[in-house]
Amino acid sequence: MLLTHSGEYVQLLTPRGERVDAPGFDPWVADIGSAELRSLYEDMLISRRLDTEATALQRQGEIGLWPPLLGQEAAQVGSAHALRQSDFVFGSYRENAVAYCRGVDLTTMISVWRGNANAGWNPYDISMAAPAIIIGAQTLHAVGYAMGCDFDASDDISIAYFGDGATSQGDVNEAMVFAASYAAPVIFFCQNNQYAISEPVGVQATKPIADRAPGFGIPSIRVDGNDVLAVFAATAIAADRARSGNGPTFIEAVTYRMGPHTTSDDPTRYRSDDELAEWRAKDPLDRVERYLTRIGALDDTETARISEHSDTVARELRAAIRALRPPEPLSFFDNVFAEPNRHLARQRSQHEAYLASFDGGELS
């Protein structure tokens, strides 16, 4: 059932930027010529730029918290590009590069981390669910959505993004049971970034995570998650299987979270500089840059253009934050229910009266 064998992983682009053969996977990237690869590179670079900018904005007090995706650009951008816009994405809090690829409005994205909103973008605008902070919950949602696609006889599919830590949750395991039972057109995309906050992946799994899925009746693929081509190929294979009625596929993208868990975290407490250096050498952007340069697809003009584009997006992010106005204070009473609710209307009205009693400076 394994599409790859235990322990091995698929790689199409080595860290040194060499394109290597991967029979069974190569055909899935046949359409990715140098221009397409350059555009994947561009999205990865912009994702990194957005991420660095958001981290800086947190340091400057413009936002409260940020979960960096530094190091996971290939896993997110490669998989996002293998989907259709009508497919539905269920992510955690870290899939901001996926959101970028789906055309998220940056203001809505950043409003969550500014503390203005709980969910940010409208899920139906970009076919991407509200970010899930409760670890693993979204995997069940993805399966249910996929079941709905199947009931509708549509060839849309869904994808669940989750981490290595999440694989320990009951929800994720139940999601695999449901997906297998109903042959749901869903992709389980696990970014094994080696850590769940401070806990190394060994706490969650003593064998490669990809080995687990076949026990549920779900074929799995283990890929070099820092190789954008391998990730694209694996996701394209899984999407094709789902669309053609062959049910779920599990992908383990082996990657590394090069930054802290969030801007509140101090990774020096639980991992070494040597380990970080080892993974820096496997950086997902460097290898594409090396490859593109070698084949002559990334000259100075292109480099300058991409860098200018990323500057523009970074400026847009800053502008998006500056444009955020303090929300209307009592709007948190809105939308608790879809239908009118008298109890809540009454409570809100009382609080309005309370606030009004301050007019004139003092509670009179």
Partner 1 sequence: MTEQATAGAVRTLTLSKSINEGLRRALTDDDKVVVMGEDIGELGGVFRVTDGLKAEFGPQRVIDTPLAEAGIIGTAVGLAYRGYRPVCEIQFDGFIYPGFDQIVAQVAKLHARTNGDVRMPITIRVPFGGGIGSVEHHSESPEAYFAHTAGLRVVTCSNPQDAYSMLREAIASDDPVLFFEPKRRYWTKGEVDLEHVPDQSMERARVLTSGTDITLVAYGPLVPTALDAAAAASEDGISVEVIDLRSLQPVDFDAVAASVRVTGRLIVTHEAQRFGGMGAEISATITERCFEFLESAPERVTGFDTPYPPAAFEDHFLPDMDRILDAVDRSMGRRNSLSEWRFDG
Ligand X SMILES: Cc1ncc(C[n+]2csc(CCOP(=O)(O)OP(=O)(O)O)c2C)c(N)n1
Chain residues in the site for ligand X (CB under 6 A)? 94, 133-135, 162-166, 193, 195-197, 257, 261
Do residues 253 and 75 lie in contact, with contact meaning Cβ atoms separated by under 8 Å? yes
User: Which of ligand X, Mg ion, partner 1, none does residue 272 bind to, with CB < 5 to 8 Å depending on kind?
Assistant: none
Beta-bridge mates of residue 143:
none
Distances 105 to 90, 108, 276 between C-alpha atoms, Å: 17, 6, 32
Shortest approach of Mg ion to residue 67 CB, angstroms?
11
177 binds partner 1 (CB under 8 A): no
Beta-bridge mates of residue 293:
none
d(CA 235, CA 170): 24
Shortest approach of Mg ion to residue 267 CB, angstroms?
12
Among 23, 151, 170, 274, binds partner 1 (CB under 8 A): 170
Do residues 193 and 249 lie in contact, with contact meaning Cβ atoms separated by under 8 Å? no
- Catalytic (active site) residue 257: yes
What region, left, alpha or beta, does residue 2 occupy, with left being phi > 0 and alpha being psi -120 to 50 degrees? Answer: beta
User: Which of Mg ion, ligand X, partner 1, none does residue 296 bind to, with CB < 5 to 8 Å depending on kind?
Assistant: none
Shortest approach of partner 1 to residue 270 CB, angstroms?
4
268 binds partner 1 (CB under 8 A): no
Q: What are phi and psi of 296, to 5 degrees?
A: 75, 25
- Catalytic (active site) residue 291: no
Site string for partner 1, 78-97 (x = CB under 8 A): ---------------x----
Task: Scan residues 2-61 and list those touching partner 1 (CB under 8 A).
Answer: none
d(CA 273, CA 276): 5
350 binds partner 1 (CB under 8 A): yes
356 binds partner 1 (CB under 8 A): yes
C-alpha atoms less than 13 angstroms from C-alpha of 12 in its C-beta half-sphere: 24
**What element of type H or E holds 222?**
strand 220-224
> Of 133, 67, 123, whose CA–CA distance to 97 is shortest?
67
Q: Which candidate in 270, 294, 305, 351 is catalytic? A: 270
Shortest approach of partner 1 to residue 111 CB, angstroms?
8
Shortest approach of ligand X to residue 6 CB, angstroms?
21
Measure the CA dihedral 314/317/319/322, to 10°.
-130
d(CA 196, CA 100): 23
User: Tokens 């951008």 — which residue?
Assistant: 77
Measure the CA dihedral 46/48/51/52, to 10°.
-110
What are the start-end ranges of the H helices in 206-283?
228-243, 273-280
Residue with smallest beta-carbon separation from Mg ion: 163
What are the start-end ranges of the H helices in 11-136?
34-59, 73-81, 96-101, 106-114, 123-126
User: Which of ligand X, Mg ion, partner 1, none does residue 327 bind to, with CB < 5 to 8 Å depending on kind?
Assistant: partner 1
312 binds partner 1 (CB under 8 A): no
Task: Scan residues 182-241 and list those touching partner 1 (CB under 8 A).
Answer: 196-199, 203-204
Shortest approach of partner 1 to residue 215 CB, angstroms?
17
342 binds partner 1 (CB under 8 A): yes
Instruction: Return residues touching Mg ion (CB under 5 A).
Output: 163-164, 193, 196
d(CA 93, CA 196): 13
Closer of 166 and 306 to partner 1 (Cβ): 166
- Catalytic (active site) residue 141: no
Residues touching partner 1: how many (CB under 8 A)? 52
Shortest approach of partner 1 to residue 97 CB, angstroms?
19
Catalytic residue set = 257, 261, 270
- Where do contacts with partner 1 occur on this chain (CB under 8 A)? 64-65, 93, 112-118, 133-135, 165-166, 168-171, 196-199, 203-204, 264, 269-270, 326-327, 329-333, 336, 342-351, 353-354, 356-357, 363-364
